[in-house]
Chain A
Amino acid sequence: MKNKVKLSAAARREENWGWFMVAPTIIGLLVLNIWPFIQTIYTSFCEHLGFGHYRFLGLANYVKMFGNAEFWKATWNTIFFCILTVPVGVALALLVAILLNAKVKFKGGFRTLFFLPLVCAPAAVAMVWRWIFNGEYGVLNQILGANIQWITDPKTAVIAVAIVSVWSSVGYDAVLLLAGLQNIPKTLYEANSIDGAGKIRQFFTITLPMVSPTMFSVLIMRLMASMKVYDLIYMMADETNPALTDMQSLMYLFYRSSFVAGERGYGSAIVVWTVGLILLVTLIQFWGQKKWVTYDI
């Protein structure tokens, strides 16, 4: 408060301008994110009677949720999906970024190719992949000469969705990592090679530590996106898919509860649980980053 008193008229005006300039973002955040989130928490303690009318229930939705095998299955599916997509996705993205950073011909062309999945509409991507995976007529089985029911066999269904997820996210992550790679000063490599280090040693002593802050951001974003996976499953699995319960994620369960069955209270409880889960995982990551992320040399 003391500082504020000392402000000159000009400085105060400047401060007001500052508030004015960030107001659109702040208001947007409050109206579109914070307030709905508070409402979601409240809704999770209510029963939806219809058309925006709620009745307070207390913990009933949570009791129902924690006692439901389908819910636990969905929680596990979501975690399993993250295990499948995040490490592989980020590792692949790093590999692609390094390759694109090297001196190769048609570099621009390759970059465009890898970035292309992101430009495609997710619905179209899912439809094309459905045909690729089709057990009877799919091109993948034709190439492999196998008869794998990719999307309908409980064992492979999650893997199929994970493949599509990795495929569509690798390009974007690679571009972010590429930016990180290009920020590494060339002199470090020069000094290092004068010292006699090989390529592999260079990767572990220079590239990896230097790119780790970017990788950390990518990791967090990828994990959050994977925890929230919904659209791919929605597009790739019909309601009558025999493997649906083995692939449905928390967000998919939320969609079915809130918008198909109309039980928004129960759906909100699932959302609150998911947010809690994401929060927990992110906190662990922030705690763990001290061990491997390098912010200065």
Chain B
Amino acid sequence: MKKIPRMIAAALMLALLLSTAGCGSSDGKTHLTFQIWDVAQRDGMQAMCDAYTAQVDPNVVIEVQVTNWNEYWTKLEAAAESNTMPDIYWMHTDQILYYADFGILADLTDLYAGEEDNYYANHFSDISISNASGTDGRIYGIPKDKDNVLLVYNKEMFDTAGVAYPTSEWTWDDLTDASAKVYAATGKYGYMAYNDEQLGYWNFVYQKGGYILDPETNLHAGYTQPATRDAIRYYVDLQKNEWCPDQNYFAETSPGTAFFSGMGAMFLEGSWNLLNEMKNYPDMVGKWDIAMLPRCPDPASGDGRGSISNGLCYSTAAKGKNLETVKEVLKFFGSEEGQRIQGESGAAIPAYLGLEDTWSKSFGDFDYMLDLDQCYGQFDYAIQYINNASRRKWKSNVADEMVKVYNGSDLDSSLARMQELADYYVTE
């Protein structure tokens, strides 16, 4: 009789083992995992994956998994260490050099070798390719999308103040003039200039003709360059105007929150947020629109235009178990068809040249159509998102220094410190 509990225990154990074994595919198909961080793009990504199963290979089924941005990188790095990475995953410009230079990512430079010479160069912009490349210049990701930074403005406030809407010919002076007028007429804030890199001072620096990393080598910082310095000074001092809230305000209320609750007339926004904002603020639909960034009236060099442009890419592990299958999938993700599905789903602007306006389709669902041509047109003035191999080490230190600038510390000594921090890792 004593044996009965043991037999039950053994049966339970067996059941447990069987259930773990069940993770393998039982339907004879290859199951792939695809990790992303943006819930809003899940459906678009899944549509693209389903299209692959339907059109290319019925034996490959891909499942999209979402992990939020903060956990995403911790998890991915741990998975890379234990060689258990998802089959396909999004890669961000901030991280790609770290992963690629360490040999984690599969080299995809020759992915289309048998099909079309110079496939990447023919169908993707230089910026998209650079954002998907390692320090060695090889390609470690299929360009997925691209974005840029736009001026978002509140039409009602402009109407009340009797100010003409922003145009592509606007300069910084027009921006401040309109801000002052809106503030005088409505009591609401004008342009809300807050402490941010991509959605803030980086754009001004490049419009002015300065740089954060020198365009030649991408190694040396340019914080102490006169043009860079002037642009940052200009940007920081915007908060001294009564029509712009100060950094205390922004630390608690993001410009987006302030804008969509009717507290301010303008702020800089990334194109990737626009669709969400149309969805999340239904009461505001029709009351706001987008324009190209105002240009610098007196640039040290260049034409005074510029908008920071970033883009994601699809990557896979160099040591992936399903590498050959995954490569076929990635080929599809980078094809015109794959990129079109992504664009039409509203997920993001396809990196594939010529397909930009497929993204407009999902904006057609709203009563008011945003002037998305402003966004597409601005790719002509796109500045590649700032990044190099050591940036992840100095990024937060430089950001801390910028906080000190806003707290009133001397700009020149802070810029010198930022220069020192960023150049610390340059070895030549």
Binding site for B on A (CB under 8 A): 50-52, 130, 133-138, 149, 151-153, 237-245, 256, 259-263
**Nearest B residue to A238 by beta-carbon distance?**
B251
Q: Is the CB of B396 within 8 A of A260?
A: yes
**Distance from A256 Cβ to chain B, minimum over Cβ atoms (Å):** 6
**Distance from A9 Cβ to chain B, minimum over Cβ atoms (Å):** 17
Q: Is the CB of B252 within 8 A of A262?
A: no
**Nearest B residue to A151 by beta-carbon distance?**
B252
With A and B bound together, what is the CA distance between A54 and B365 in angstroms?
A: 52
With A and B bound together, what is the CA distance between A244 and B251 in angstroms?
A: 10
- Quick check: is B104 within 8 A (CB to CB) of the other chain? yes
Give the interface segment out of B58-66, B336-344, B398-406: B398-406
With A and B bound together, what is the CA distance between A274 and B131 in angstroms?
A: 39
Residues of A within 8 A of B407 (CB): 242
Q: Is the CB of A51 within 8 A of B104?
A: yes
- Quick check: is B395 within 8 A (CB to CB) of the other chain? yes
With A and B bound together, what is the CA distance between A258 and B316 in angstroms?
A: 25
**Nearest B residue to A130 by beta-carbon distance?**
B252
Q: Is the CB of B393 within 8 A of A237?
A: no
- Quick check: is B55 within 8 A (CB to CB) of the other chain? no
Residues of A within 8 A of B248 (CB): 135, 149, 152-153, 242
Residues of B within 8 A of A239 (CB): 396, 399, 403
- Quick check: is B81 within 8 A (CB to CB) of the other chain? yes
- Quick check: is B368 within 8 A (CB to CB) of the other chain? no
Residues of B within 8 A of A243 (CB): 251
Residues of A within 8 A of B195 (CB): 240
Q: Is the CB of B104 within 8 A of A237?
A: no
**Beta-carbon contacts of B26-55 to A below 8 Å, as 1s and 0s?**
000000000000000000000000000000
**A153-B248, A240-B406 given; 7 more Cβ-contact pairs under 8 Å:** A51-B80, A138-B252, A151-B251, A238-B251, A260-B396, A261-B395, A261-B397
**Nearest A residue to B252 by beta-carbon distance?**
A134
Residues of B within 8 A of A240 (CB): 194-196, 247, 250-251, 399, 402-403, 406
- Quick check: is B392 within 8 A (CB to CB) of the other chain? yes
- Quick check: is B74 within 8 A (CB to CB) of the other chain? yes
With A and B bound together, what is the CA distance between A242 and B104 in angstroms?
A: 37
Q: Is the CB of B102 within 8 A of A152?
A: no
Interface size on B, residues (CB 8 A): 29
- Quick check: is B249 within 8 A (CB to CB) of the other chain? yes
- Residue among A50, A135, A136 with the most chain B CB within 10 A? A50
Q: Is the CB of B253 within 8 A of A134?
A: yes
Within 8 A of A (CB), among B226-268: 247-253
With A and B bound together, what is the CA distance between A102 and B259 in angstroms?
A: 51
Residues of A within 8 A of B403 (CB): 239-242, 244-245
Q: Is the CB of A262 within 8 A of B249?
A: no
- Quick check: is B156 within 8 A (CB to CB) of the other chain? no
Question: Could you list 16 A-B pairs, sorted by A, with CB under 8 Å?
Answer: A50-B102, A51-B102, A51-B104, A52-B81, A133-B252, A134-B253, A239-B403, A240-B399, A240-B403, A242-B247, A242-B248, A243-B251, A256-B396, A259-B74, A262-B392, A263-B393
- Residue among A51, A135, A153, A260 with the most chain B CB within 10 A? A51
Residues of A within 8 A of B250 (CB): 240
- Quick check: is B303 within 8 A (CB to CB) of the other chain? no
With A and B bound together, what is the CA distance between A149 and B247 in angstroms?
A: 11
**Nearest B residue to A239 by beta-carbon distance?**
B399
Q: Is the CB of B249 within 8 A of A135?
A: yes
With A and B bound together, what is the CA distance between A76 and B54 in angstroms?
A: 61
With A and B bound together, what is the CA distance between A250 and B206 in angstroms?
A: 37
Q: Is the CB of B396 within 8 A of A241?
A: no
- Residue among A134, A240, A263 with the most chain B CB within 10 A? A240
Residues of B within 8 A of A136 (CB): 249, 252-253
**Nearest B residue to A237 by beta-carbon distance?**
B251
**Beta-carbon contacts of B188-216 to A below 8 Å, as 1s and 0s?**
00000011100000000000000000000
- Quick check: is B298 within 8 A (CB to CB) of the other chain? no
Q: Is the CB of B393 within 8 A of A262?
A: yes
- Residue among A238, A242, A256, A259 with the most chain B CB within 10 A? A242
Residues of B within 8 A of A50 (CB): 98, 102
With A and B bound together, what is the CA distance between A278 and B377 in angstroms?
A: 58
With A and B bound together, what is the CA distance between A134 and B81 in angstroms?
A: 42
With A and B bound together, what is the CA distance between A260 and B247 in angstroms?
A: 22
**Beta-carbon contacts of B152-177 to A below 8 Å, as 1s and 0s?**
00000000000000000000000000
Residues of B within 8 A of A135 (CB): 248-249, 252
Q: Is the CB of B252 within 8 A of A152?
A: yes
**Nearest A residue to B392 by beta-carbon distance?**
A262
Residues of A within 8 A of B400 (CB): 244-245
**Nearest A residue to B393 by beta-carbon distance?**
A261
**Distance from B102 Cβ to chain A, minimum over Cβ atoms (Å):** 5
- Quick check: is B77 within 8 A (CB to CB) of the other chain? yes
Residues of A within 8 A of B98 (CB): 50, 262
Pairs of residues from A and B, 9 with the lowest C-beta to C-beta distance, nearest first: A52-B81, A152-B248, A241-B251, A240-B195, A152-B251, A50-B102, A149-B248, A134-B252, A260-B396
- Residue among B247, B252, B393, B400 with the most chain A CB within 10 A? B252
**Distance from B197 Cβ to chain A, minimum over Cβ atoms (Å):** 10
**Distance from B129 Cβ to chain A, minimum over Cβ atoms (Å):** 24
**Distance from A55 Cβ to chain B, minimum over Cβ atoms (Å):** 14
- Residue among B102, B104, B194, B400 with the most chain A CB within 10 A? B400
**Beta-carbon contacts of B91-117 to A below 8 Å, as 1s and 0s?**
000000010001010000000000000
**Nearest B residue to A244 by beta-carbon distance?**
B403
**Beta-carbon contacts of B55-83 to A below 8 Å, as 1s and 0s?**
00000000000000000011001001100
A50-B102, A51-B80 known; A242-B251 Cβ under 8 A: yes
With A and B bound together, what is the CA distance between A138 and B395 in angstroms?
A: 32
Residues of B within 8 A of A256 (CB): 396
Residues of B within 8 A of A134 (CB): 252-253
**Distance from A286 Cβ to chain B, minimum over Cβ atoms (Å):** 35
**Distance from A57 Cβ to chain B, minimum over Cβ atoms (Å):** 15
With A and B bound together, what is the CA distance between A261 and B397 in angstroms?
A: 9
With A and B bound together, what is the CA distance between A151 and B251 in angstroms?
A: 8
Residues of A within 8 A of B104 (CB): 51
Residues of A within 8 A of B81 (CB): 51-52
Q: Which residue in B73, B194, B396 is a CB contact (below 8 Å) of A261?
A: B396
**Nearest A residue to B196 by beta-carbon distance?**
A240
**Distance from A80 Cβ to chain B, minimum over Cβ atoms (Å):** 20
Residues of B within 8 A of A245 (CB): 400, 403
**Nearest A residue to B82 by beta-carbon distance?**
A52
